[in-house]
């Protein structure tokens, strides 16, 4: 299914996200936070336009995959790197679990809060959405073993240290708890892979830059996906962080991967 030896060999082991020009973890983190803060007002629109609305389907599919835990009224769920809260809401709508969203970019959380208010005012079911908190996913303000499910959609790739991120997610999970990371991947099929790379590297940065006003953010996107560990490597790193049964499934021609694992 996955990366060819040629691609795997060409990729150095990534410590974490390094937006161009960032030298260390602190600087990388600050640049990522500033970048997402800047694009927050246009973030949802761009997500839907650039993915042809597939992003909604992907998040709903994540919620379906974890419906058993989401249907439990006693379950606690944390969605890290929640951005404007689309996955957080999809998880909360799926059942009766208490769901919290966290992110370190304040403007993203403001949008998330507005959306959950308008969902509530429009009487749309939003389950037990406890609320949103501003927090760095590398240093979460929660006690050990607090959650039954921890998720991250399109956010994990932006962490300044992936192994530390995995350890932090592991720490806040209860024994028996599950972790899910939804991320972009690079399709390997000859024709679709080529078409996808053309779209992702040539077209998307132009549309994204024009609508968001940040050419940096939308050239960072394909660059960061290119440097992100291939699915098999991420699965190995999950196991090294202590997770059991790490596995992944590829969606939409291999352009998106859902990684999951359990804390035994």
Ligand X SMILES: C[S@@+](CC[C@H](N)C(=O)[O-])C[C@H]1O[C@@H](n2cnc3c(N)ncnc32)[C@H](O)[C@@H]1O
Residues binding ligand X (CB under 6 A): 29, 32-33, 36, 47, 81-83, 86-87, 103-105, 108, 136-138, 153-155, 158-159
CB of 155 to ligand X, least distance (A): 3
Distance CA 36, CA 153 (A): 14
**Measured distance CA(177)–CA(191) in Å, rounded:** 39
Residue 117 or residue 176: which is nearer to ligand X going by CB? 117
Residues 35 and 19: beta-carbon distance below 8 Å: yes
Q: Which of 243, 100, 250 is nearest to 165 (CA)?
A: 243
Q: How far is the CB of 5 from ligand X (least distance, A)?
A: 30
Least CB distance to ligand X at residue 29 (A):
6
Looking at the Cβ atoms of 148 and 183, the one nearer to ligand X is 183
Q: Which is nearer to ligand X, 158 or 255 (CB)?
A: 158
Residues 6+ apart with CB under 8 A from 249: 257, 258
Nearer of residues 191 and 260 to ligand X, judged by Cβ: 260
Residue 125 CB neighbours (<10 A): 10
CA distance 260 to 257: 10
Do 179 and 263 touch, CB atoms closer than 8 A?
yes
Nearer to ligand X, 175 or 204 (CB): 204
In angstroms, give the least distance from the CB of 179 to ligand X.
Answer: 14
Min separation Cβ 4 and ligand X, Å: 27
Is residue 173 helix, strand or coil?
strand
Q: Which residue is nearest to ligand X (CB)?
A: 83
């Amino acid at each position: 299914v996955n990366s060819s030896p040629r691609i795997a060999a060409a990729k150095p082991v990534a410590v974490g996200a390094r937006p161009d020009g960032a030298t260390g973890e602190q600087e990388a983190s600050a640049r990522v936070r500033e970048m997402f803060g800047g694009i927050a007002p246009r973030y949802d629109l761009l997500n839907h336009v650039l993915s042809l609305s597939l992003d909604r389907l992907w998040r709903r599919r994540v919620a379906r995959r974890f419906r058993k835990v989401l249907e439990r009224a006693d379950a606690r769920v944390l969605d890290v790197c929640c951005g404007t809260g689309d996955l957080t809401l999809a998880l909360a709508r799926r059942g009766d679990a208490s769901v919290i969203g966290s992110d370190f970019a304040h403007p993203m959380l403001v949008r998330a809060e507005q959306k959950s208010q308008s969902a509530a005012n429009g009487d749309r079911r939003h389950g037990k959405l406890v609320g949103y908190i501003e927090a760095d996913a590398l240093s979460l303000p929660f006690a050990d073993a607090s959650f039954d499910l921890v998720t991250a959609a399109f956010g994990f790739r932006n962490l300044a240290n992936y192994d530390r991120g995995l350890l932090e997610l592991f720490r806040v999970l209860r024994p028996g708890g599950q972790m899910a990371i939804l991320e972009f991947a690079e399709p390997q099929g000859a024709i679709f892979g080529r078409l996808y790379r053309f779209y992702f590297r040539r077209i998307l940065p132009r549309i994204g830059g024009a609508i968001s006003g940040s050419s940096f953010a939308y050239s960072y996107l394909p660059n960061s996906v290119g440097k992100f560990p291939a699915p098999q490597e991420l699965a190995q790193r999950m196991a090294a962080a202590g997770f059991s049964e790490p596995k992944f499934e590829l969606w939409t021609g291999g352009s998106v991967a859902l990684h999951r694992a359990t804390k035994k």
